[in-house]
């Protein structure tokens, strides 16, 4: 299985450990299409984590406001 296939599988499974390892070891792609695919996959993970971070921040803010009331 190549890097892109492994990344897609890890993304589908939400396997953060494998995603982290793959992001740290991105190969040099020979085809521009493979580079674009890798970029898109990494960007998708980044956006997912940013959304989750935002949700967690909102929950923390709500908890803080509830304690202050």
State the pTM of this model.
Answer: 0.77
Q: What is residue 58's predicted lDDT score, i.e. its pLDDT?
A: 92
Q: Note down pLDDT in tens along the chain; length 69 residues.
A: 999 999 999 999 999 999 999 999 999 999 999 999 999 999 999 999 899 999 999 999 888 888 776
**Contact in structure between 56 and 47 (CB atoms under 8 Å):** no
Domain locations in the chain as residue ranges: 3-68
Q: What is residue 69's predicted lDDT score, i.e. its pLDDT?
A: 65
SS (H, E, C) the chain: CCHHHHHHHHHHHCCHHHHHHHHHCCCCCCCHHHHHHHHHHHHHHHHHHHHHHHHHHHHHHHHHHHHHC
Query: For residues 10 and 28, what is the distance between their CA atoms, to the nearest angstrom?
Result: 20
């Amino acid at each position: 299985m190549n890097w892109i296939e492994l990344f897609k599988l890890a993304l589908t499974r939400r396997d953060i450990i494998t995603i982290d390892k793959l992001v740290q070891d991105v190969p040099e792609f020979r085809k521009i299409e493979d580079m674009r695919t890798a970029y898109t996959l990494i960007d998708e993970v980044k956006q997912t984590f940013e959304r989750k971070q935002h949700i967690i921040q909102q929950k923390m803010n709500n908890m803080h406001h509830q304690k202050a009331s």
